[in-house]
Amino acid sequence: MEKEKFTTPIEVVTEILDKSIPLFAQYGFSGVSIRHVTKTVGISIATLYYYFPDKKTLYLKSIEHAFLDKAKSMSDVINIPGTKEERLKLFIHHFTELMSNDANFRLLFQREILEADHSRLKRLSEQVFKELFKNVLEFAKEISPKCDPHLMAISMIGLILFHLETTPIRMFLPEGRAVHNETEVIADHVYLLLTKGLLKNGVLKCKQ
């Protein structure tokens, strides 16, 4: 049955990762069993262990798989020629759209932060997020040389993510409107905060 369903090892691995992502997003690392994954994919436990030695490896590879295309496209956007303002706007809009369109990845990321497993977070930071964050860090140094680059990079990313993460509750808060959930509206707002709120004489400043 497995041979009929998948013709190459790459197809098997891709299918396992594609089906594992929503499972881990919905139930978390602890709530998903190997048997749960194999039943969803339609393979044997032996087949899964042939490609992934344990659940932690499968979990980390699933997050890496979900993030891979985002990391590449974001790195490409950062390196597009233009003024600091043009590139910042493009970065914000592109990142907002990517995150808005992938609820599973956002949920995976939220679960990792909440569960705070030190060893998993360390491996994710080093193996999945490190290279893209280094690019964002260099970009932050360029557009905001007088700010702490780490804090600026986190703010650029965090402002967007928090808007998306709070979508379920914001509609119940005073003056919450459906338009606030639109990708363009969120991106324009974050860009406005970063430029009009901090920009002075072409340089983002954090202090006098």
User: 78-137: per-residue pLDDT in tens?
Assistant: 888 988 889 999 999 999 999 999 999 999 888 888 888 898 899 889 888 898 899 999
Per-residue DSSP letter, 127:
I
Residue 52: its pLDDT value, please?
Answer: 96
pLDDT value of residue 1: 42
Percent of the chain at pLDDT > 70 equals 91
pLDDT surpassing 70 at residue 187: yes
The 10s digit of each residue's pLDDT in 142-161 is: 988 888 999 999 999 999 99
* CA atoms of 100 and 137, how far apart (whole Å): 22
Instruction: Find the Cα–Cα–Cα–Cα dihedral 147, 148, 149, 150, rounded to 10°.
Output: -150
* pLDDT exceeds 50 at position 202: no
Kind plus residue range of the DSSP H or E element containing 35: helix 34-41
Average of per-residue pLDDT values in the chain: 87
- What pLDDT, on a 0 to 100 scale, did the predictor assign at position 128? 83
Closest CA to 92 of 131, 100, 205, 107: 100
Cβ neighbours around 39 below 10 Å, total: 12
What pLDDT score was predicted for residue 98?
92
Q: How far apart are alpha carbons 208 and 193 in whole angstroms? A: 18
Predicted confidence band of residue 3 (pLDDT cuts 50, 70, 90): very low
Would you state the pLDDT for residue 5?
A: 64
What domains does the chain contain, in order, with CATH numbers? 1-53 (1.10.10.60), 60-204 (1.10.357.10)
Q: In which band, very low, low, confident or very high, does the pLDDT at 45 lie, cut at 50, 70 and 90?
A: very high
Residue 29 has pLDDT above 50, yes or no: yes
